[in-house]
Chains A and B, each alone.
Chain A
């Protein structure tokens, strides 16, 4: 290893897997839509099993406003800056989907007590870029791009906000959106000059709640787009049709030489896999199809609604959550064309398989997940999005969300809910809140990209 190293992160995915165990967790918690007139916040959780405050919220960094709906977040720098010793993984960018405010939170000065460093106001973003509704954040070397799901009035397709390393607005990142109708998540794989993006819907469609009929009216996505990353424009679209209704999280392999990528189609409850074949053509296929399940009170079987997917750092396992069914699944994807189900656990959900876990009634279902770098601990939260929570799990308003940990067998496959870890956001000091995405100070399985 060269002596000029090192910036943030790790030299490779294999090096990342050797990192020390995560002892702090950051997760966002919201009051938006709950009736409690308090700001959303970043919760810091003590995750050191030797600590007396293990599995408790130890600090709360409130954002200034009310009603932001904090949702996803990302680091200012990741392993894509590993060779740049001037950079450090210091700030979490925590956007509000509804307000478009982007909160920059300093997590390094005191990792146990993060503080607000700066706010990029939604009004400034709208006036300079005509974009709103920030979602996914990735750094590209020392710069940052954020998928923005709408224009300033909440219409699709939005675009990509480009920030410099000091969090100044550079402008729009993309040179063209091409024919892309909707935005959502994205991930890039620079050695192949490719970025993949998926489609939720216009903010004006998904923010008020989910009208199923709008899927038939083509108000929700059903495509995955591949981009020429250097030209910053789309180059190929996979039309997934009924197999790919509402494609959400996209993940490339962590291995920077791989062309394989995956996406969970939420409403179709399928996993879509793409790769570049021997002729250099991009191909896609459906590799997992979660069957709808009967429910005594429903006129139609319940779809799984795959709300998230995640790959382990060694690209061996794919995890998915069926938010309405209530299960998390682990698939061995060593052969990405032929996934094998190797583990499954239940928590909450509408099928009644595990209404209570570790002594707490789980309201909602497994939703966002984050995996430790070594692949052995999976952290799970239960809230999806305030208005959608209110439709499918209305009791979450009084019960709040919760975070659980699942122990994962990385050798033989298999999953088990940890009996000693539980963070009950129903017991927060200002009343029940709802937790969503989780990250760790040292990087995680959905942050880091290698150049």
Chain B
């Protein structure tokens, strides 16, 4: 079984060994970590956590827009680790997750993946 080490930075850097094939929410909850969640299929954002270091496969999520992904957010109920990772978890990690959509609009490349346009070339 392929395992990765998950560190929760805002939980005193506690560390857990998790199965690379299982969703992080399932693995962490099984080891007693108290995490928010809702739909459990990657659609509702309740379980979002912020990835500080490492990498995950979260292709199954449909809740995050590209800006949220670029801010490091990960949908734990469907994300699987592909490396050792460090996270901030819980709503304390949601400081960049929510924004007033009228005051802070998304650019076309920051929308959800199915409707986003490619990022503009910065040197153009």
Q: Closest approach, in angstroms, between the C-beta of A370 and any C-beta of chain B?
A: 26
Choose from A67, A150, A213 the contact partner of B36 (Cβ within 8 Å).
A67
Given A67-B46, A154-B43, A217-B115, A209-B98 contact (CB < 8 Å):
yes
Choose from B41, B47, B90, B100 the contact partner of A392 (Cβ within 8 Å).
B100
Task: For B108, give the chain A residue with the smallest CB separation.
Answer: A213
Q: Closest approach, in angstroms, between the C-beta of B112 and any C-beta of chain A?
A: 7
B32 within 8 A of A: no
Expressed in whole angstroms, the Cα–Cα distance for A386 and B98 within the complex equals 11
Expressed in whole angstroms, the Cα–Cα distance for A302 and B102 within the complex equals 8
Q: In the complex, are the beta carbons of B98 and A153 less than 8 A apart?
A: no
Q: In the complex, are the beta carbons of B43 and A217 less than 8 A apart?
A: no
Q: Closest approach, in angstroms, between the C-beta of B10 and any C-beta of chain A?
A: 12
* Binary flags per residue of B32-56, CB closer than 8 Å to A gives 1, else 0: 0010111111011111000000000
A300 within 8 A of B: yes
Q: Closest approach, in angstroms, between the C-beta of A151 and any C-beta of chain B?
A: 11
* Binary flags per residue of A374-394, CB closer than 8 Å to B gives 1, else 0: 000000000000110011101
* Binary flags per residue of A199-239, CB closer than 8 Å to B gives 1, else 0: 00001100111111110010100000000000000000000
* Binary flags per residue of B49-69, CB closer than 8 Å to A gives 1, else 0: 000000000000011110000
Task: For A33, give the chain B residue with the smallest CB separation.
Answer: B46
Expressed in whole angstroms, the Cα–Cα distance for A210 and B108 within the complex equals 15
A72 within 8 A of B: no
Q: In the complex, are the beta carbons of A35 and B92 less than 8 A apart?
A: yes
Residues on A with beta carbons closer than 8 Å to the beta carbon of B111: 211, 213-214, 217
Q: In the complex, are the beta carbons of B62 and A300 less than 8 A apart?
A: no
Residues on A with beta carbons closer than 8 Å to the beta carbon of B46: 32-33, 67, 69, 98, 386-387
Chain B count of residues within 8 A CB distance of the other chain: 33
Q: In the complex, are the beta carbons of A98 and B103 less than 8 A apart?
A: no
Residues on B with beta carbons closer than 8 Å to the beta carbon of A387: 44-46, 98
B124 within 8 A of A: no
Expressed in whole angstroms, the Cα–Cα distance for A354 and B37 within the complex equals 34
Q: Closest approach, in angstroms, between the C-beta of A330 and any C-beta of chain B?
A: 27
Choose from A99, A132, A207, A214 the contact partner of B112 (Cβ within 8 Å).
A214
B101 within 8 A of A: yes
B122 within 8 A of A: no
Given A35-B91, A390-B98, A298-B36 contact (CB < 8 Å):
no
Residues on A with beta carbons closer than 8 Å to the beta carbon of B22: none
Given A203-B44, A217-B111, A391-B39 contact (CB < 8 Å):
no
Task: For B92, give the chain A residue with the smallest CB separation.
Answer: A35
Max count, chain A CB within 10 A of own CB: residue among B63, B98, B100, B103: B98
Q: Closest approach, in angstroms, between the C-beta of A71 and any C-beta of chain B?
A: 12
Q: Closest approach, in angstroms, between the C-beta of B45 and any C-beta of chain A?
A: 4
Q: In the complex, are the beta carbons of A204 and B62 less than 8 A apart?
A: yes
Residues on B with beta carbons closer than 8 Å to the beta carbon of A211: 65, 101, 106, 111-112
Expressed in whole angstroms, the Cα–Cα distance for A207 and B62 within the complex equals 10
Q: In the complex, are the beta carbons of A208 and B63 less than 8 A apart?
A: yes
Q: In the complex, are the beta carbons of A98 and B38 less than 8 A apart?
A: yes
Residues on A with beta carbons closer than 8 Å to the beta carbon of B65: 208, 211
Choose from B36, B44, B99, B115 the contact partner of A207 (Cβ within 8 Å).
B44
B105 within 8 A of A: yes
Expressed in whole angstroms, the Cα–Cα distance for A210 and B94 within the complex equals 15
* Binary flags per residue of A262-303, CB closer than 8 Å to B gives 1, else 0: 000000000000000000000000000000000001111010
A397 within 8 A of B: yes
Residues on B with beta carbons closer than 8 Å to the beta carbon of A34: 91
Choose from A35, A203, A302, A391 the contact partner of B101 (Cβ within 8 Å).
A391
Expressed in whole angstroms, the Cα–Cα distance for A35 and B63 within the complex equals 19
Q: In the complex, are the beta carbons of B102 and A300 less than 8 A apart?
A: yes
Expressed in whole angstroms, the Cα–Cα distance for A212 and B99 within the complex equals 11
Choose from B44, B63, B97, B101 the contact partner of A212 (Cβ within 8 Å).
B101
Residues on B with beta carbons closer than 8 Å to the beta carbon of A153: 41, 43
Task: For B68, give the chain A residue with the smallest CB separation.
Answer: A208
Expressed in whole angstroms, the Cα–Cα distance for A219 and B106 within the complex equals 15
Task: For B67, give the chain A residue with the smallest CB separation.
Answer: A211
* Binary flags per residue of A140-184, CB closer than 8 Å to B gives 1, else 0: 000000000010111000000000000000000000000000000
A154-B39, A298-B102 known; 16 new pairs, CB 8 Å cut-off, are A66-B37, A67-B47, A152-B41, A154-B62, A207-B39, A207-B45, A208-B44, A208-B65, A213-B105, A213-B108, A214-B111, A217-B111, A299-B103, A387-B44, A387-B45, A391-B101
The 10 closest A-B pairs by CB, nearest first: A98-B38, A35-B91, A208-B45, A154-B43, A208-B63, A207-B44, A212-B101, A67-B38, A204-B43, A390-B98
10 pairs, A vs B, C-beta closer than 8 Å: A32-B36, A67-B46, A99-B40, A203-B39, A204-B62, A207-B39, A211-B111, A211-B112, A212-B106, A387-B46
Residues of A within 8 A of B (CB): 32-35, 37, 66-69, 98-100, 132, 150, 152-154, 203-204, 207-214, 217, 219, 297-300, 302, 386-387, 390-392, 394, 397
